[in-house]
Structure 1
Amino acid sequence: MLIRSLVVLHALLAALTALPVAAAEAPDYFHYTTEAGDTLIGIGETILRQPADWQRVQRINRIANPKLIPIGTVLRVPISLMRTDPVTARVSQVQGEVSGERGPLEAGARIGSGDEVVTGENGSTTIELSDGSLLTLQPGSRLKVESLSVIHGTELQDAQLRLQKGRVESEVAKQRGPAARFRILTPTAAVGVRGTRFRVGTEEPGTPPGTTRTEVTEGAVGVEAGRARLELNEGFGAVAAAESIAKPVPLLAPPAIAATASLQERPLVRVPFAAVTGARAYRAQVAADAAFHSILAQAVFASTEAKFGDLADGNYHVRIRAIDQFGLEGRDADLVFRLKARPEPPFASQPQNQAKLRAETVTFAWAQADEAQHYRFQLARDAAFAEPVLERDDLGETRLAATEKLPPADYYWRVRSVRGDDDAGPWGDVQRFQLRPPPANPEPAKIDDKSLSFSWPAEPGQSFEFQLAKDEAFAQLVENRTLGEPTITLPKPDGGTYFMRVRATDPDGFVGPYTATQKTDVPLGKPWWMLLLLVPLL
């Protein structure tokens, strides 16, 4: 058959200039090798849209006799004259809101020439063409399939896709010869490729209107804007306007992602990374697959920390790239991370973080977590909990009274929730507290004929609040003083029973508890009539 003799001889793309030039585009040719019995008329009936166009083929190839062609002659046939057969592309991945001509799109749907695909702000989709090429349409994008076909009798694809707004990332299969074409059109430019990985963005938020940005991460592409043409090589990007293409610039280096981000234990995923010189912002994406064909979340960040919420526990891939002053996005940095944030740990309530306690025993308390059937508790003297001093694995209550006396030291404690199936969530935030000896009671009061004195143990730099009252509830205060020294001398009060207590304020401002209430009895003075016994009788 004639079709079996179709042989692709060479690629069409020639070297293109880097800046706007006026140049006539060379026509695309398909190369056909003749066999025994071939005539131009027969070839026209087999592979041309209009069989009568065999005469144009005759003129191009300078064939004297259309019915007598030597076997093995290589004929140049303009691609524009060749017959094509329509084909469809398959929607291989759908994430979030993605719609087509007839409503929401689902994975497995077929689209063809004239169809349009729109992604919502949290939607993305990957489309697989008949030759295996993949296009991932990013959130907030609109793409129309202008034409999608194959050269009649071959598997050589001719695809033209119009990106009306947003971004598309492409992995284009190597195009087998000049008859195979892949082009992405935008309102201001056209990008043609022969097998490469590249990105195209247009009419995006935060970028100048009427511009197209192209970034090549593998291979090369040809960019056209009006009469301007440019060959854009791997590792470079360029911005095109309606009639011009800016000079290519190197893509920014990938940012270094912190290795600590590989395990996430809170519902809000935080991914810190190093700054990239020349970056004005960063794009971060989270996907379920390493190829990022199923994008679950993405955002642009001005700082060097990406944050994502609303992800279920599981394994994910994060990809981050720097954005330069022109809006061109740099090379990717990838990291696999595991999210294990549930069941969420309870909020700690007592003792509070950085608390100072003057006691020998401590009571711990926390809030009730929704999914928790029970809790696990740890207390240690080091923040890494290398050697816990107290552990409990099956606490049904949200409170733990540590009855064992604890020596004065700095302590750390934490709690985690456990589901009924023994699935333990992450530990809660580590809480630190200082345990100091309880306040020592004042020494017994010293009473003489004119004064009442108290003193008590103290630490350097402490100040004190001293209270003396007539009742144990300290409602009837006799003295309430702030002191800089651990001692006080008062005028001797009237006889009776008195109650006193002291509390210390440390140099760091920590106010300790009151000491245990102490009672002292002040003897009654001698009645006036006893003085008469000392007066001599006259």
Structure 2
Amino acid sequence: MAAAAATALACLIGIGAAPLAQARSPGLHPETVPYVTQPGDTLYDVAQRYLGDMRHWRVLARLNRVSAPRQLRPGTSLRLPVALLRREALTARIVAMSGQVARLFGNTPPVPVVDGASFTEGDRVSTGADGFATFELVDGTHVSLPPNSTLQFGRLQRTVLTERTERIFNLQRGEVDSEVTHAKHPGDRFEIHAPSIVAGVRGTHFRVNYDASATQVEVLDGTVAVDATHGAAGHQRAGGGAADPDEAASQLVPARYGSVTRASGGVGAPVPLLTPPELVEPAKVQGAAQVAFDLTPLPGARRYRVQIARDADLLDLIREVRVDAPHATFDGIPDGTYFVRMSAIDADGLEGLPHVYAFERRQSSLMATASQVAGTRDYEFRWLANRAGVTTTHYRFVLSRHADLREPVVDTVDLSSSRIVVANLKAGTYYWTVVAEQFENGRFYETTSPVRSFTLAH
């Protein structure tokens, strides 16, 4: 079983290829790519242009049996060794960021990153406790870092003529979320390396989360090959205990499944991810001082993750929180339209499938007070709707003998003033509320004050 998984892994991410050092010395039957000579070409020019080193003209001469390197007839078909083809550097550009994001240079202090900055091979980037960063590659692939994560750009290369790409990232801390554009060439490679695993794909959406005790891989779309960098099936745990039989040196993890690789063993067998939790009141306008979300409790969930972004694809993330209960709050969210992504986390730390909702943030408040008019059974009710930019507000006032406001004693609508006096009330306990009705930017909004109560003595 482990051998079969390893073979499938090699097929998926190209691990079965010869090491680079060997590939640089083509054998008798190297992999080649054709090139048709143009007017004025010499073997020296072709070697310099496509192999990156004019000294490789001798390899071309032997391989193509060319005796006159300066006299190439236009239209001649040459075979160029793939292993010697020149590789061009690719870049990854930040397309969205929020909070603390820094570029790391050895032991020197981190340097803050500016929006739109580009990164190349060898660069390292880190996000702080409030940091988010999303990078875009030239093929449209997106790589996103949530808070407290560190990523090194291990290899970003494209081979000339074949257009094969190698995109290898080293996750050194935290999490990376990758949405990979489907590969166009058989030799294309996209891999996330963590200290305990290599996760390789040819077009998919998946997450890798690493800490010292375990590495979680969660696949949302496509299939991911996960290969242990240490440990294998039959690995003996510390103290002489046998490894879990479900662990292997390699695993293929399909969509909607996850895998856990623990520091003490091999790659765990794929397990189904939790289904996404639902949002209570998905149409609710977030008008309170805090943005708050209530989730439907999900069986098997130990924690919940709630993220806020400015875009529907969740590339421009600005906030996130992990909570034990299905309730999350956020401070300091300005007015606007946002998107919330919610997922559940199981006992093994695997994050489940997400659900994304759009919501509107429109902070508003409605302050209300009531007092008895001295010497009477009259009550005066006052209120104030605090919402900048709205010139016209109408109110609805409801007074009832019941806490649920049924069978109201008073139900007055379309009030333009911010006060009302109710005369000659009978003794007893009353409940009341005020609803502010506003029309803004082509939409109708209601803000309701908390239900308050008072008791009128005999």
Query: TM-score under structure 2 normalisation?
Result: 0.73
How many Å apart are 1:340 and its aligned residue?
2.3
Match of 1:218 among 189, 214, 221: 221
Cα distance between partner residues in 2 of 1:199 and 1:116 = 19
Cα distance between partner residues in 2 of 1:270 and 1:181 = 41
How many Å apart are 1:359 and its aligned residue?
7.6
Tell me, yes or no, if structure 1 residue 315 matches structure 2 residue 332: no
* 1:183/1:64 CA distance change after superposition, 3 Å: closer
Tell me, yes or no, if structure 1 residue 414 matches structure 2 residue 433: yes
- What is the identity, as a one-letter code, of the residue corresponding to 2:451? V
How many Å apart are 1:418 and its aligned residue?
9.6
Equivalent runs, 1:170-185 vs 2, <5 Å:
170-185=178-193
Q: Report the secondary structure of 1:335's partner residue.
A: strand
Match of 1:298 in 2: 320
Match of 1:364 among 358, 363, 381: 381
Q: Report the secondary structure of 1:413's partner residue.
A: strand
Cα distance between partner residues in 2 of 1:90 and 1:279 = 36
Structure 1: gaps of 5 or more residues = 1-12, 18-22, 204-208, 352-357, 436-511, 514-538
* 1:75/1:272 CA distance change after superposition, 3 Å: farther
Match of 1:230 among 242, 251, 255: 251
Match of 1:379 among 398, 407, 411: 398
Q: Report the secondary structure of 1:263's partner residue.
A: coil
Cα distance between partner residues in 2 of 1:310 and 1:32 = 58
Tell me, yes or no, if structure 1 residue 430 matches structure 2 residue 430: no
* 1:347/1:170 CA distance change after superposition, 3 Å: farther
Match of 1:264 among 259, 268, 286: 286
Match of 2:260 in 1: 239
Cα distance between partner residues in 2 of 1:72 and 1:413 = 91
How many Å apart are 1:41 and its aligned residue?
9.0
* 1:366/1:290 CA distance change after superposition, 3 Å: same
- What is the identity, as a one-letter code, of the residue corresponding to 1:85? E
- What is the identity, as a one-letter code, of the residue corresponding to 2:111? G
Match of 1:325 in 2: 347
| C-alpha contact 1:349 1:367 (8 A) present in aligned 2 | no
Cα distance between partner residues in 1 of 2:147 and 2:435 = 37
For residues 166-204 of structure 1, the C-alpha deviation after alignment (integer angstroms, 9 at most, x for no partner) is 11111111122233222211122222111110111112x
Match of 1:109 among 109, 117, 135: 117
With CA pairs under 8 Å and 6+ residues apart, which has the higher RCO, 1 or 2? 2
Equivalent runs, 1:472-483 vs 2, <5 Å:
none
| C-alpha contact 1:188 1:210 (8 A) present in aligned 2 | no
Cα distance between partner residues in 2 of 1:75 and 1:65 = 7
- What is the identity, as a one-letter code, of the residue corresponding to 2:257? F
Match of 1:462 in 2: none
| C-alpha contact 1:347 1:428 (8 A) present in aligned 2 | yes
Tell me, yes or no, if structure 1 residue 95 matches structure 2 residue 117: no
* 1:218/1:376 CA distance change after superposition, 3 Å: same
Q: Report the secondary structure of 1:15's partner residue.
A: helix
- What is the identity, as a one-letter code, of the residue corresponding to 1:15? A
Structure 2: gaps of 5 or more residues = 1-5, 24-29, 68-74, 105-109, 231-248
- What is the identity, as a one-letter code, of the residue corresponding to 2:322? V
Cα distance between partner residues in 1 of 2:66 and 2:78 = 15
Match of 1:286 in 2: 308
* 1:315/1:43 CA distance change after superposition, 3 Å: same
Cα distance between partner residues in 2 of 1:56 and 1:240 = 44
Match of 1:161 in 2: 169
How many residue pairs are counted as aligned between the two chains? 397
Match of 1:402 in 2: 421
Cα distance between partner residues in 1 of 2:226 and 2:98 = 30
Instruction: Answer with 1 or 2: which has the greater Rg.
Output: 1
- What is the identity, as a one-letter code, of the residue corresponding to 1:404? A
RMSD: 4.2
Match of 1:484 in 2: none
Cα distance between partner residues in 1 of 2:412 and 2:224 = 64
Match of 1:34 in 2: 34
* 1:130/1:392 CA distance change after superposition, 3 Å: closer
- What is the identity, as a one-letter code, of the residue corresponding to 2:155? S
Cα distance between partner residues in 1 of 2:351 and 2:371 = 48
* 1:66/1:200 CA distance change after superposition, 3 Å: farther
Tell me, yes or no, if structure 1 residue 148 matches structure 2 residue 156: yes
Cα distance between partner residues in 2 of 1:362 and 1:220 = 68
